[in-house]
């Protein structure tokens, strides 16, 4: 009796051996049958090898797909971060554009106000042109304000606050022009040189300059300028425009200035200032 130990025997060889044994036990095993069985074995072995190759290939493709998936997820994350950054930049850019548009509108508004003031000053200048050409007054821009300057030597005698006849005529002409601008306010300012004065009526240059400014205000009101548009002030010798060391300089310092007061409500920042005032 033949005894075979088949424990741990390879399955494919075991299968072949089984076929051979079966054939051997037959009464007669044809050569053709044996070759057919051998061919079948080889074919099945080839199929097994092909399946093994396909398995290896499939596993490799699976691993590659897994890597591709990981790379794609990473790429999608990066793109998401880029999109988030782009949206943030876009929002910041839009905010910047909005701020710039607001600034441009504010600049345009202020520019329009400046152009309106310039047009108003030009209109005043044109109205005063005849008086300027005859030398009765000068027009200057001082500290951003339009100032009409009249020499007191034309308006008053030395040491006096009484308007001369020529002075009254000049003041009446100026008042008529100012009255054509009802939306504006004006301040008459009296100025002297530094020659001291100490009379009973005028203890100082302050008093003399104040009386002169007040008389000019009264003359302008009498000439038709509403009193609500005009006020007076005295600076005495405190605001010279030339040196008091020369007669020419003193002549320039003895003057009446009519200041065209700015409308504060039209100036930039007025609304902010108004909100700051105590309730």
In terms of Cβ atoms closer than 10 Å to its own Cβ (0-12, 13-18, 19+), residue 235 is middle
Could you count the other beta carbons within 10 Å of the beta carbon of residue 83?
10
pLDDT of residue 38: 79
Q: Which of 14-28, 63-77, 81-95 has the lowest mean pLDDT?
A: 14-28
Residue 7 has pLDDT above 60, yes or no: no
Q: At what angle do helices 31-133 and 165-178 cross, to 10 degrees?
A: 150
Q: How many CB atoms lie within 10 A of CB 192?
A: 29
Distances (CA, A) of 132 to 174, 185, 212, 259: 11, 21, 21, 16
pLDDT at 98: 85
- Mean residue pLDDT of the chain comes to 83
DSSP character at residue 5: -
The span from the CA of 161 to the CA of 250, in Å, is: 17
Q: What is the pLDDT of residue 1?
A: 46
Mean pLDDT of 158-175: 92
Question: How high is the pLDDT of residue 221?
Answer: 97
Higher pLDDT, 259 or 269: 259
- What was the pLDDT predicted at 134? 84
* Cβ(244)–Cβ(250) below 8 Å: yes
What per-residue confidence (pLDDT) applies to 277?
58
Of 159, 161, 160, 157, nearest to 188 (Cα)?
A: 161
Give the residues across from 187 on adjacent strands: 231, 259
Residue the block writes with tokens 């108004």: 274
10 Å CB burial of residue 8 (0-12, 13-18, 19+) is exposed
* Per-residue pLDDT tens digits for 226-254: 999 999 999 999 999 999 999 999 999 99
Q: What is the rounded CA–CA span in Å between residue 202 and residue 218?
A: 19
Q: Who has greater pLDDT, 234 or 76?
A: 234
- Cβ 175 vs Cβ 225: under 8 Å: yes
CATH of domain 134-271: 3.30.1330.60
Average pLDDT over residues 136-152: 86
Q: How far is CA 100 from the centre of its chain?
A: 5
Contact between 260 and 146 under an 8 Å Cβ cutoff? The reply is yes
CB 236: neighbour CB atoms within 10 A? 18
- Mean pLDDT for 3-14 is 53
Burial class (CB in 10 A: 0-12, 13-18, 19+), 103: exposed
- Asked if pLDDT for residue 5 goes beyond 60, the answer is no
pLDDT, tens digit (0-9, with 9 covering 90-100), for 81-135 = 888 888 888 888 888 888 888 888 888 888 887 788 788 778 878 888 888 888 8
């Amino acid at each position: 009796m033949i005894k075979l130990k088949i424990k741990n025997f390879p399955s494919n060889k075991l299968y072949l051996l089984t076929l051979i044994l079966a054939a051997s036990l037959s009464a007669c095993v044809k050569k053709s049958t044996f070759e057919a069985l051998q061919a079948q074995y080889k074919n099945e072995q080839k199929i097994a090898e092909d399946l093994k190759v396909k398995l290896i290939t499939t596993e490799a493709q699976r691993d590659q797909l897994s890597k591709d998936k990981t790379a794609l997820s990473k790429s999608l994350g990066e793109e998401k971060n880029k999109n988030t950054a782009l949206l943030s930049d876009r929002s910041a850019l839009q905010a910047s554009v909005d701020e710039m548009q607001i600034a441009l509108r504010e600049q345009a508004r202020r520019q329009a106000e400046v152009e309106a003031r310039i047009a108003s000053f030009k209109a005043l200048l044109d109205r005063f042109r005849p008086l300027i050409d005859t030398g009765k007054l000068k027009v200057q821009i001082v500290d951003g304000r339009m100032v009409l300057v009249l020499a007191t030597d034309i308006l008053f005698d030395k040491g006096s606050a009484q308007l001369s006849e020529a002075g009254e005529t000049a003041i009446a002409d100026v008042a008529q022009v100012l009255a054509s601008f009802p939306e504006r306010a004006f301040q008459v300012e009296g100025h002297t040189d530094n020659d001291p004065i100490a009379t009973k009526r005028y203890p100082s240059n302050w008093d003399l300059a104040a009386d002169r400014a007040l008389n000019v205000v009264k003359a302008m009101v009498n000439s038709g300028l509403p009193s609500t548009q005009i006020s007076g002030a005295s600076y005495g010798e405190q605001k010279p425009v030339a040196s008091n060391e020369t007669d020419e300089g003193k002549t320039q310092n003895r003057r009446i200035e009519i200041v065209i007061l700015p409308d504060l409500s039209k100036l930039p920042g007025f609304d902010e200032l108004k909100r700051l005032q105590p309730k």
